[in-house]
Amino acid sequence: MITKEQIAEQYQQIQNEICAGLELADGSGKFQEEIWDRDGGGGGRTRIIQNGNVLEKAGVNFSAVYGKLPDTIKKTFGVSDDDFFATGVSIVIHPDNPWIPIIHMNIRYFEMISETGKEMRWFGGGIDLSPHFVIEDDARFFHRSLKHTCDKFHSDFYSKFKNWADDYFFIKHRQETRGIGGIFYDRLNPQTTGLEWADIFEFSKAVGRTFLPVYIELINRNKEKLVKEDEKLWQYQRRSRYAEFNLVYDSGTKFGLDTNGRIESILMSLPPQANWVYNFNAKPGSEQEKTLGLLKKGLNWI
């Protein structure tokens, strides 16, 4: 059986690989690292690029934390007094050019052991894309890449996790999706998947290693595109929707805050600048209108 220490070690390796690849793709930006400790147990490595050549703000974080669950989390899990361990890699990238999409990736492992000895363990994670402008060829490339990864492990994973992402990354108060989705999954274990623990861990790592080649391809496709003033303003508005989702609905943000995580690391997902335009209406036939029309659940990108 794989141990939590082995999982954390492999996740740190994936963080290293992704940071090295993103620095090459950016061309000038270098990650600044902060090592932090958590009151109650554990800590992490926060790595941030700000004002790079391509990446205006990029965070690639690793954490491994443990201790007693706070009351809010106990109520969610329906338990009384439990010890927990959680480790993972979390990424959010806000590019400078609005034709390059925002991207989020997370792979994580959680285990909890109660005073009575009952054990709960699972993997979660996913990758999703939030384009400022939806480019349909890019959307198809992104989803086909995720399907290719999922199909190596289970024929149902992509369709199940794609629908899960559509539902999860939905801004209810706006009645629109945060972006074009991707895959999202939680509480994967042998009972929920039919796979062995080792295979689920391999899937988690494969998701993590799908991120870099996919995003570098999207960067290279779009980084040389010229940007007009109205396109930059639209980028700031789309970023505001991203911020709204992360502050109102995102379970990872809530878990980090509820477990006394490091605030700067938790909120690294927020963009460096965002605008809230009152009562915005896209011009008919514009790229902005086209994008708004594609922020819906259930679209088939394969």
176 sits in which H/E element: strand 176-177
Q: Give, for 175, the enclosing helix (H) or strand (E).
A: none
Q: CA 295 → CA 97, 113, 130, 158, distances in Å? A: 20, 40, 9, 19
Task: Tell me which of 94, 104, 132, 143 is the catalytic residue.
Answer: 104
- Determine if residue 175 is left, alpha or beta; phi over 0 gives left, psi from -120 to 50 gives alpha, anything else beta: left
Alpha carbon distance 251, 266 (integer Å): 11
Handedness of CA 154, 158, 163, 165 (dihedral sign): positive
**Cα 180 to Cα 107: distance, rounded to the nearest angstrom:** 19
Separation between Cα atoms, residue 48 and residue 59, nearest integer Å: 5
Which two three-digit tokens encode residue 153? 């492990």
For residue 104, indicate whether it is catalytic: yes
Phi and psi at residue 258, to the nearest 5°: -70, -25
Cβ atoms of residues 6 and 200 within 8 Å: no
Catalytic residue numbers, as ranges: 104
